[in-house]
Each structure stands twice: as structure tokens, then as C-alpha cells.
Amino acid sequence: MSHTCHAVGCTTQIAKKFFMCPHHWSMVDKDTQRSLYAEYKQGLRDNNHPTLAWYEDAHEAMQQVLQIECSADHREPTESEKYRAGICKRIAQRRQAGSSP
């Protein structure tokens, strides 16, 4: 099984066990990497769904990559990029409010 890297605009296919392709994952700080995988494993162990903290960490990872890539290109993120990078935050907010993602 595979899926697309979660970095905004990346089309690289990766194994389901990974969140991002190696190129983009290397842009995420180590604390966020560790926390994201710890929360993912906890969610799988509890009910086969990521935890609320996982969605928050996923949002942070996506924001970090988008910021680095836009900075390297000397540009601001587009509205579309901001929207895509914010998807995990919106899911986390819905989960906190009691509705399913």
C-alpha cells in the first residue's frame, strides 16, 4: 500500500507507514518527527485512528515544510497552499468540537 507524500504539492508515492517522502521529511524538526510517529502509533493501538495530537503534529510538519520551501523560493505561500497545509488543523478543530474528521 502507498499514498502521496503529505507535503503540499508533492506527488511522490510513499509507503503507508511514512508521513512524507524522505526529501520533505528531512525538513521537519526532529521533535515534531518523534511526536508525530509516537501519536500515530498511539492512535493505531487505541482505535486504529490518529489521535488529536497527531493531527496537530501533522499540521506543524506540513507548515514547517511549506515555510522552508516558500522561503527558498523567496515567495509567500499561495492561498491554495495555505489551505492544503491547514487541513490537519481543521480536522483537529472538528475533533475537539466533537464531530468526526
Q: What is the pLDDT of residues 16-59, one digit of tens each?
A: 889 999 999 999 999 999 999 888 876 666 677 788 888 999 99
- Domain total of the chain: 1
Task: Give start and end residues of each alpha helix (H) in 14-78.
Answer: 22-25, 30-47, 52-72
Using alpha carbons, select from 91, 96, 73 the residue that is nearest to residue 6: 91
Give Cα 58 distance to the centre of its chain. Answer: 3
Question: What average pLDDT does the segment 65-71 reach?
Answer: 95
Please indicate, yes or no, if residue 5 is contained in any of the structural domains: no
| CA 47 – CA 90 distance, rounded (Å) | 21
Q: Give the rounded percent of residues in the chain with a pLDDT score beyond 90.
A: 57
Domain-embedded: residue 1:
no
pLDDT of residue 99: 61
C-alpha closest to that of 57 among 41, 68, 71: 41
- Mean pLDDT over 70-96 rounds to 90
Let me know if residue 16 belongs to a domain: no
Range of the domain at 87: 22-97
Q: Which residue has the higher pLDDT, 100 or 90?
A: 90
pTM: 0.84
C-alpha cell at 72: 527558498
